[in-house]
Amino acid sequence: MTTDTLARLRRLRATPPAEEPERCELCGEILDERHRHLFDPRSRALLCACRGCSLLFQDPDGRYRPVPEKVRYLPDFELDDATWDELMLPVNLAFFVVSSSAGRPLALYPSPAGATESQLDLATWGSLQSANPVLRSLRPDVQALLCDRIGTARDHFIVPIDVCFELVGLVRLNWKGLGGGPQVWAAIAAFFAELQTRGEPSTHRAGPEEGTSGA
């Protein structure tokens, strides 16, 4: 083997392989960095979709369900600390989604192991709905109530479900050791600061028509 060949092999080993472009999981088209998602209720999985495929699946009860894009900030959401404690969550960061496959609302929270389900007391959830009718507008599987109650924060949002899984991924990526480390808490704070800039302020008294109009 010649010196030139050895040099070329070393350069090849030193050059990281080019990342494969992200593709639509339905047709294989290359996707833009920001793209739409569809929810598959059978596998309870999110699918990345190109614009064309996302337009094909607009039935909220269809095989693939469109994930909306709107973020709604709920500055007057009614949830005091005592009611939060009744939800019996182990952390002060959680999201709630109505699961069509489970036939009930689920409480989940980000953890180093991914999205972790916590047992949800349905009576407490019913009381929360009564105090905040906006929760009755949640679109099953594809919208969630996202709560940030870390430290002094008391922020609540109605978000697309892919926002929740983005947060889950952020926690998994940045968590260090037993307590998470300063990096993960800084990343979570930045995440919610950016989410507030995206969110449209919305009253907790909003009726179902607000949650079902437009994606």
Instruction: Determine the Cα–Cα distance for residues 89 and 94; give it in Å rounded to an integer.
Output: 8
In a domain, 213, yes or no: no
Domain, as residue range, for 115: 72-207
Residues 43 and 96 both lie in one domain: no
In a domain, 22, yes or no: yes
What are 109-137's pLDDT values in tens digits?
A: 999 999 999 989 899 999 999 999 999 99
Average pLDDT of span 100-107: 91
> Which has the higher per-residue pLDDT, 195 or 6?
195
Residues 37 and 106 both lie in one domain: no
Mean pLDDT of the residues in the chain: 86
DSSP symbol at 192: H
Q: Which of 65, 21, 22 is nearest to 45 (CA)?
A: 65
Residues 36 and 93 both lie in one domain: no
For residue 202, what pLDDT band results from cuts at 50, 70 and 90?
confident
Residues 135 and 200 both lie in one domain: yes
In a domain, 119, yes or no: yes
Query: Which are the contacts of 16, defined by CB distance < 8 A and separation ≥ 6?
Result: none
Task: Give the end of a domain, one of 40, 67, 94.
Answer: 67
Write down the pLDDT at residue 177. 87
Query: Which are the contacts of 150, defined by CB distance < 8 A and separation ≥ 6?
Result: 92, 93, 185, 188, 189
Task: Give the end of a domain, one of 36, 67, 98.
Answer: 67
What are 143-159's pLDDT values in tens digits?
A: 999 999 999 999 999 99
E-strand ranges in 30-142 read 36-40, 45-49, 65-66, 72-73, 93-99, 104-111, 114-118
Determine if the pTM surpasses 0.75. yes
Three-class secondary structure of residue 117 per DSSP: strand
